Amino acid sequence: MNIEEFIKKSPKAELHLHIEGTLEPELMFSLAKRNNIKIPFKNIDDVKKAYNFNNLDSFLKIYYEGAKVLIKEQDFFDLTWAYILKCKEDNIVHTEIFFDPQTHTDRGVDFDKVINGIFRALKKAEKEFGLSFKIIMCFLRHLSEDECFKILDKALAHKDKIYGVGLDSSEKGNPPKKFEKLFKKALENEFITVAHAGEEGPPEYIWEALNLLNVHRIDHGVQCLKDEKLVEILTKSQIPLTVCPLSNIKLKVFNTLENHNLKKMLEKKLMVMVNSDDPAYFGGYLNKNFIEIQKALNLSHEEVKTLLVNSFKSSFMKDAQKKEWISKII
């Protein structure tokens, strides 16, 4: 079996996936028509041209524009179901998806419609395909902490569906320390915590996420290599770093995949794994991320296996379930 076949056939866990970021142009147009929503694109080619981002903020502009077509509970179900079919295709057996409720509630969409549509699709996938999952609600860091407290209060009514909370959106100028009280309350309410840090922001943001937000996982974290002490702490603690290769190229974190630091992170024994982030916008789902980064960095079979195993080790699955899937990566 060659390395590409090994990637495709191996079971995988995906730990960094924004469900709104799986909105393919075709579904965007379909939902816009169904909900009678005007979008600033004449056709699918127009959308694809708009996907030429310079940085995180220019991506977020189109991301929020696309999300406007999501109105009803069925829309969130259809969005999630489309991603689930990609999971089936890419042999993803466990997924821990992010959703951004404020992207929708700020437009007047009811919180319950958002979470119920997503959850219903995932429960159907669990029953039909055996896909296991966790749902992580993200706070938009460009908004105030007070606004985020309001959304945390809404989440409490859905504690049976929402496993954890995270932090995403524009990183620069919005350090983790801005949300220290919010995350303290989330932890008091027994939510698992994660946070985007060290994607475009400095290593200091990773320190803050660890020390002030008490996160269990760092999303992205690629800037950690600029701080030797931080690398030492991350290696010793084995705090997971959910790396997203194609996203990093599309958002100009690295100029090319050949310049990506994933191999260096592996060499330093950091707990890293591969994810797709916002695959509809960044040019590929999980298998494509794996295949392209393997080719670009000439990753060995053993290095690919480590990345696959790390995805299960770093998940919020039960230990017995982790061991079972890891035993199937050969």
pLDDT in tens, 133-188: 999 999 999 999 999 999 999 999 999 999 999 999 999 999 999 999 999 999 99
pLDDT at 9 over 80: yes
Active site residues: 199
3-state secondary structure string, the chain? Answer: CCHHHHHHHCCEEEEEEEHHHHCCHHHHHHHHHHCCCCCCCCCHHHHHHHCCCCCHHHHHHHHHHHHCCCCCHHHHHHHHHHHHHHHHHHCEEEEEEEECHHHHHCCCCCHHHHHHHHHHHHHHHHHHHCCEEEEEEEEECCCCHHHHHHHHHHHHCCCCCCCEEEEECCCCCCCHHHHHHHHHHHHHCCCEEEEEECCCCCHHHHHHHHHCCCCCEEEECHHHHHCHHHHHHHHHHCCCEEECHHHHHHCCCCCCHHHCCHHHHHHCCCCEEECCECHHHHCCCHHHHHHHHHHHHCCCHHHHHHHHHHHHHCCCCCHHHHHHHHCCCC
Q: What is the pLDDT of residue 198?
A: 98
Domain 3-315 has CATH 3.30.70.360: no
- The model's pTM is 0.97
Average pLDDT value over all residues in the chain:
96
Q: What is the pLDDT of residue 59?
A: 85
pLDDT mean over 72-90: 98
Q: What is the pLDDT of residue 321?
A: 98
Higher pLDDT, 19 or 51: 19
pLDDT mean over 201-211: 98
Q: What is the pLDDT of residue 185?
A: 98
